[in-house]
């Protein structure tokens, strides 16, 4: 990369990250309180349905059902954990506001829950979990692009996200320059999620890194869970069933409990 490009990218990086740094300047929850604050983020919602199944399944509904079930388990069993939701109903919440909610709460952990999809009637099964980071694999970049496209439903997204284009691979180069002090704990949480989902019988698609906008502005360990593939008929049936919601939420709850126990 020549010098002019490096200078341009670094300038973009500074402009892109400054709002996140300013929003996160309040310090961590660990410094302010002994209470563990968990933010649960049900992806999409309202005018943004997310991925659609081949039947009647909608990602926003699956995400919300699992998120509320996780929150209920935490509230019932982990009395020293404060649960904050980015949404509890079918409402549209902008991506940067989801991060703002977590930062204002001085959260110790941010968990975003989503449902995956594939084009052209491809059949795939399994769950995977992402942390913010490099996206050298083309498949990881494709998942990040799809989830990030939600910003195009927001007003003035070009100025709010400093020119970020969710469909452009070049926009993601800034993440190569980001140093996340929470990366180790984020990966630890993502690994625990995958372990628990695997124990629940889900095909394990692993832990990956990609440039999700909803994670880039949070000032605490964070991960994004792709529960399964709504575009695969058997997966859609499972994801929209009470059994599926129960098994998925229980696995995520167990991962949160284990994470909290090892990160006091």
Please compute the mean of the pLDDT values over residues 169-176 and round it to a whole number: 53
Please compute the mean of the pLDDT values over residues 222-235 and round it to a whole number: 97
Sheet holding 36-42, edge to edge: 81-85, 36-42, 109-116, 222-229, 127-132, 204-210
Residue 182 or residue 81, greater confidence? 81
Whether the Cβ atoms of residue 42 and residue 87 lie closer than 8 Å to each other: yes
- Between helix 242-262 and helix 59-77 the angle, nearest 10°, is 50
Instruction: Identify the band that residue 144 occupies on the pLDDT scale cut at 50, 70 and 90.
Output: low
> Which has the minimum average pLDDT: 27-41, 84-98, 117-131, 165-179?
165-179
Residue 145 or residue 257, greater confidence? 257
Instruction: Identify the band that residue 117 occupies on the pLDDT scale cut at 50, 70 and 90.
Output: very high
For 245, the domain range is: 3-262
Whole-number pLDDT of residue 40: 98
Q: Which residue has the tokens 């709850």?
A: 253
Global pTM value: 0.74
139 CB contacts (<8 Å, ≥6 apart)?
A: none
pLDDT of residue 137 exceeding 50: no
pLDDT of residue 135 exceeding 80: no
Count structural domains, the chain.
1
pLDDT of residue 65 exceeding 50: yes
Whole-number pLDDT of residue 219: 82
Residue 178 or residue 259, greater confidence? 259
List residues bridging with 58 in a β-sheet. Answer: 52
pLDDT of residue 80 exceeding 50: yes
pLDDT of residue 45 exceeding 50: yes
Whole-number pLDDT of residue 242: 98
Please compute the mean of the pLDDT values over residues 239-248 and round it to a whole number: 98
- Of the candidates 130, 140, 139, 142, the residue with the CA atom closest to the CA atom of residue 183: 130
Whole-number pLDDT of residue 26: 44
The token pair that represents 244 in the structure block: 């599926």
The whole-chain average pLDDT of the chain stands at 81
pLDDT of residue 72 exceeding 90: yes
Whole-number pLDDT of residue 81: 97
User: Residue 125 CA to chain centroid, in angstroms?
Assistant: 19
Task: Map the chain to HEC letters.
Answer: CCHHHHHHHHHHHHHHHHHHHHHCCCCCHHHHCCCEEEEEEECCECCECCCECCCCCEHHHHHHHHHHHHHHHHHHHCCCEEEEECCCCCCCCCHHHHHHHHHHCCCCEEEEEEEECCCCCCCCCCEEEEEECCCCCHHHHHHHHHHHHHHHHCCCHHHHCCCCCCCCHHHHHHHHHCCCCCHHHHHHHHHHHHHHHHHCCCCEEEEEEECCHHHHCCCCCEEEEEEEECCCHHHHHHHCCHHHHHHHHHHHHHHHHHHHHHCC
Whole-number pLDDT of residue 19: 43
Instruction: Identify the band that residue 24 occupies on the pLDDT scale cut at 50, 70 and 90.
Output: very low
CATH of the domain at 161: 3.40.630.40
pLDDT above 70 covers what percent of the chain? 69
Whole-number pLDDT of residue 20: 45
Rg (CA), the chain: 18
CA 262 – CA 264 distance, rounded (Å): 6
> Which has the minimum average pLDDT: 42-46, 150-154, 189-193, 218-222?
150-154
The token pair that represents 17 in the structure block: 């990250």
Please compute the mean of the pLDDT values over residues 94-118 and round it to a whole number: 94
- Of the candidates 58, 73, 37, 40, the residue with the CA atom closest to the CA atom of residue 249: 73
């Amino acid at each position: 990369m020549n010098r002019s490009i490096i200078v341009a990218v670094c300038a973009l990086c500074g402009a892109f990250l400054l709002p996140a740094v300013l929003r996160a300047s309040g310090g961590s929850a660990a410094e302010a309180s002994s209470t563990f604050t968990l933010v649960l983020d049900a992806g999409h919602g309202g005018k943004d349905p997310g991925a659609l199944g081949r039947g009647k399944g909608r990602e926003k509904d699956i995400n919300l059902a699992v998120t509320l079930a996780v929150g209920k388990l935490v509230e019932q069993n982990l009395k020293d954990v404060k649960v904050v939701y980015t949404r509890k109903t079918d409402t549209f919440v902008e991506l940067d506001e989801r991060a703002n909610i977590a930062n204002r709460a001085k959260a110790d952990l941010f968990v975003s829950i989503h449902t995956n999809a594939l084009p052209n009637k491809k059949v795939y099964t399994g769950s995977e979990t992402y942390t913010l980071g490099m996206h050298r694999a083309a498949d990881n970049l494709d998942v990040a692009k799809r989830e990030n496209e939600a910003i195009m439903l927001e007003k003035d997204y070009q100025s709010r996200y400093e020119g970020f284009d969710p469909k452009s691979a070049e926009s993601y180069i800034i993440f190569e320059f980001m140093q996340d002090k929470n990366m180790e704990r984020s990966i630890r949480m993502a690994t625990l999620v995958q372990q628990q989902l695997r124990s629940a019988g889900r095909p394990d698609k692993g832990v990956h890194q990609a440039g999700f906008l909803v994670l880039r502005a949070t000032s605490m360990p964070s991960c994004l869970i792709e529960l399964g593939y709504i575009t695969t008929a058997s997966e859609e049936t499972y994801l929209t069933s009470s059994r599926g919601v129960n098994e998925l939420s229980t696995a995520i709850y167990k991962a949160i409990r284990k994470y909290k126990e090892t990160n006091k």
